[in-house]
Amino acid sequence: MTGINANVGISIAMTAILYGTPLVFAGIGELLAERSGVLNLGVEGMLLMGGVMAFLVSQRMTGPNGLVLLAAVLVAMVASAAMALIHAFVSITLRANQIVSGLALTIFAGAIGLSSYIAEDNRIGGKAGKHQFSQLDLFGLKKFPVIGPILFGQSAMVYLSWLAVIGAVLYLYRTRTGLHLRSVGESPQAADAMGINVTRYRYLHTLAGGALAGAGGAVFTLQIATNWIDGLTAGAGWIAIALVIFSFWRPELLIAGAYLFGAFTSVGFDLQARGITSIPSEFWSALPYVMTIVALVLVSAGSVRRRLGTPAALGIPYVREES
Amino acid sequence: MIRFVARENVPRWLDFVVPLASVVLAMVVAGIMLAATGHNPLTTYQHIVQASLTQPGALSQTLVSMTPLMFTGLAAAVAFRMRLWNIGGEGQLYWGAIGAAGAGLYFHSLPGWLLIPLMMAAGLLAGTLWAAIPGVLRAYLNTNEILTTLMLNYVAANVMYYLIFDSTSYWRDLTSPSAKVFPQGKNLPAAASWPAFQVGSLTIPFGLIVAVGLAVLLWGMIRATRYGFEMRVLADSPAAGKYAGIRTRRKILSLMAISGGIAGLGGASQVGDFSHVLDPRGLEQAGFGYTGIVVAALARYNPLAVVVTSFFIGMLVNAGFALQGPGFPIGLTGTMEGILLFCVLGAEIFTRHRLEIRLPHARPKTQIPAPPVAVGPARGETS
């Protein structure tokens, strides 16, 4: 980048969007699942599964760059949706506690779980990435001052994440199934009485949440890190869950929060890369987590309505009353 | 059509048979996964048993692995039992280690019988205070404790790394020349090493005895004290608890503190019993806090059962360390823990419900026999 587009502000904004993108995918996915009444604390595990599967495909598959990347993302989405299916089966059909089942998923797929197992069995840990998403130059407008790189110079995954947000907004507020989804999360009894299949809605949205988390994981291994280290998401899945809470379960707010947290992650890297090391690196590493707590406190302490936007049936298994 | 129907009377034997069957199921599922990825499940299981039970010294190693897991398992069990989701055992254990190592270094001239209790107190206090942060936030501001406790784990890890790798702190060894190149913690004095007891060929760490004592104490507290009773009431029906005048906030805060204190004691035991130094990398890689959640959930949050489940998970963890290599990838430990947890969680419904399978074509059959004409008032009706 040259000229005005080389300044600190633009570079922080670009990295903030990059680090925020997995949060957008995973956050929108969790939002859809929670809107149906299913809390899935397995996001961290699903991100790691998506990440490892995407990296595995990109290492093993040969072919044109675009095709390999497409296949890698699709495989990642399927793998993470499969993880979500376990949670759905255990917590929806078998009515197990959703919190514990989600934690089980994070342990099962997490840093010392299946994602690490797959990486070690296929010896892909530490290998240099062969395929990765690069920044595009849409309509040749990337060099346009300030908004050029931000609007036209992103990678395909960033544009896909924007589509996911727009799609989620339209789906939730402008379609009949979106309305049904919200009713399932608010009052499954009423939804059931209306003839909506509560179980099917919960399964499908939990799976969709998994698939989106898988895409988020792919961003980690195909664009942010471009290699594999066990547990490389470092808690991003948990920040995504927190984002759903302080966006009041609304996709349009979630993306803003995701980029804010992307900025908290990137500002430390950026300052250190510029040789400003008077503040220890651990401070910058801890910053996103501390800010997550601060944001959660601010939202929960809001005295007007404590649980603004929380789906009323969140976390509660639905059992149809039968005579 | 398949559905679950609540059992009218629950046979006692189901409480034992269902968990047992789910463990067998978990072993079958894990076996299928091993076979599918080109490992022989039977030899893998055989290696686990050898490395954690039958080989010379293996059982003592399993006791070492289970000690921290019993502490973090108890910490999770007491909190989860009251539906207080403290996932911060990891960070509380780090702080316990920081506190105990600090006490051990500061009071280095004291004799062991005085120094060891001081280390325990420091670990307990540090864990308690760290857990009090999410405790206060949950009790007074209703902030989701799942996320705050988890976020604080990452903060605690960064504090620990800062103390050893990025500062000239009291915990860091700054004297030896090698320590200047490879940052490491100060070694604790010999008096700060917790005793170990020899029973035949078995070595029992002091921390393990403390943990078992704690398990009994907590079990008694939950079952037989007013505090435990109020805690159970609040867990099962918060509204009833409030109506009965139980101080909810105080209970949440105190329980969080107890849970954090136990995890902190686990950190103290880790320093006093085994590492004798504050070792951030070792603690972070071990992930005792997260594994403790598995231990607690498998025990269904019963402190006495934690003693048993921490042994079995300790076996698995110990085998994971001993067998590390191509035949036993690191990730296998967490994968097997996850499968076990899913099977036990998923099977729980069968203790109170039975599965009813009705084939669609069988339905009209049930409608054919005409109901006998009722002579008297039907059951349930009053005349």
- Interface contacts (A, B; CB < 8 Å): 152
Q: How far is CA B149 from CA A15, A197, A297, B155, B166, in A?
A: 28, 36, 13, 10, 24
* DSSP tag of A80: H
d(CA B128, CA A26): 33
d(CA B329, CA B34): 11
Of B174, B156, B95, B158, the residue nearest B127 (C-alpha): B95
Contact B66, B208 (CB under 8 A): yes
A-chain residue closest to B336, CA distance: A108
Give chain B positions within 8 Å (CB) of A281. Answer: 166
Overall domain count for chain B: 1
The answer to whether position B353 is within a domain reads no
d(CA A100, CA A108): 12
**Half-sphere exposure of residue B297, counting CA atoms within 13 Å on the CB side?**
31
The answer to whether position A140 is within a domain reads no
Substitution target from B5, B84, B145, B147 for chain A, most A beta carbons within 10 A:
B147
pLDDT band for position B1 (50/70/90)? low
Residue A307: the pLDDT is 56
ipTM for the assembly: 0.90
Does residue B116 sit at the A interface (CB-CB below 8 Å)?
no
The answer to whether position A167 is within a domain reads yes
The answer to whether position A48 is within a domain reads yes
- Phi and psi of B122, rounded to 5°? -65, -40
The answer to whether position B283 is within a domain reads yes
The answer to whether position A306 is within a domain reads no
B285 vs A278: which has the higher pLDDT: B285
Give chain B positions within 8 Å (CB) of A318. Answer: none
> Residue A85 corresponds to which tokens in the numbers above?
């299916």
Residue partners of A3: CB distance under 8 A and separation at least 6:
A145
**What proportion of chain B, given as a percentage, has pLDDT over 70?**
93
A118 to B287: CB separation less than 8 angstroms, yes or no: no
The answer to whether position B284 is within a domain reads yes
Q: How many CB atoms lie within 10 A of CB A88?
A: 26
Closest in B334, B346, B347 to A107, CB measured: B334
pLDDT over threshold 70, residue B81:
yes
Does residue B77 sit at the A interface (CB-CB below 8 Å)?
no
The answer to whether position A322 is within a domain reads no
Q: Which helix (H) or strand (E) holds A271?
A: helix A251-273
B380 vs B166: which has the higher pLDDT: B166
pLDDT for B108-132, tens place per residue?
999 989 999 999 999 999 999 999 9
- Residue B347, min C-alpha distance to chain A (Å): 8
Residue-level length of chain B: 383
Find the mean pLDDT for residues B246-256.
90
Overall domain count for chain A: 1
d(CA B127, CA B119): 12
Find the mean pLDDT for residues A282-300.
89
Does residue B144 sit at the A interface (CB-CB below 8 Å)?
yes
Residue range(s) defining the domain that contains residue A96: 20-132+148-250
Substitution target from B136, B158, B349 for chain A, most A beta carbons within 10 A:
B158
Contact B253, B132 (CB under 8 A): yes
Find the mean pLDDT for residues A124-142.
81
Substitution target from A34, A103, A247 for chain B, most B beta carbons within 10 A:
A103
The answer to whether position B60 is within a domain reads no
pLDDT band for position A85 (50/70/90)? very high
Of A188, A181, A176, the residue nearest A36 (C-alpha): A181
Of A53, A28, A57, the residue nearest A43 (C-alpha): A28
The dihedral region occupied by B125, where left means phi > 0, alpha psi between -120 and 50, and beta the remainder, is alpha
pLDDT for A33-44, tens place per residue?
999 999 999 999
The answer to whether position B58 is within a domain reads no
Q: How far is CA B36 from CA B41, B90, B323, in A?
A: 10, 33, 20
Give chain B positions within 8 Å (CB) of A280. Answer: 162, 166-167
The answer to whether position B255 is within a domain reads yes
pLDDT for B186-209, tens place per residue?
889 999 999 999 998 899 999 999
Closest in B4, B151, B346 to A90, CB measured: B346
d(CA B121, CA B128): 10
Find the mean pLDDT for residues A279-289.
88
Find the mean pLDDT for residues B363-370.
51
Q: Which residues 27-56 of B have a C-beta within 8 angstroms of A?
A: 37-38
Of B211, B212, B185, the residue nearest B102 (C-alpha): B185
The answer to whether position B130 is within a domain reads yes
Give chain B positions within 8 Å (CB) of A49. Answer: none
pLDDT over threshold 50, residue B45:
yes
The answer to whether position A182 is within a domain reads yes
- Phi and psi of A306, rounded to 5°? -60, -40
The answer to whether position B187 is within a domain reads yes
Contact A153, A136 (CB under 8 A): yes
pLDDT band for position A28 (50/70/90)? very high
Of B278, B268, B284, B259, the residue nearest B128 (C-alpha): B259
Tell me the residue type at B243.
Y
What's the whole-number average pLDDT of chain A? 89
A107 to B349: CB separation less than 8 angstroms, yes or no: no
pLDDT for A148-179, tens place per residue?
777 887 889 999 999 999 999 999 999 999 99
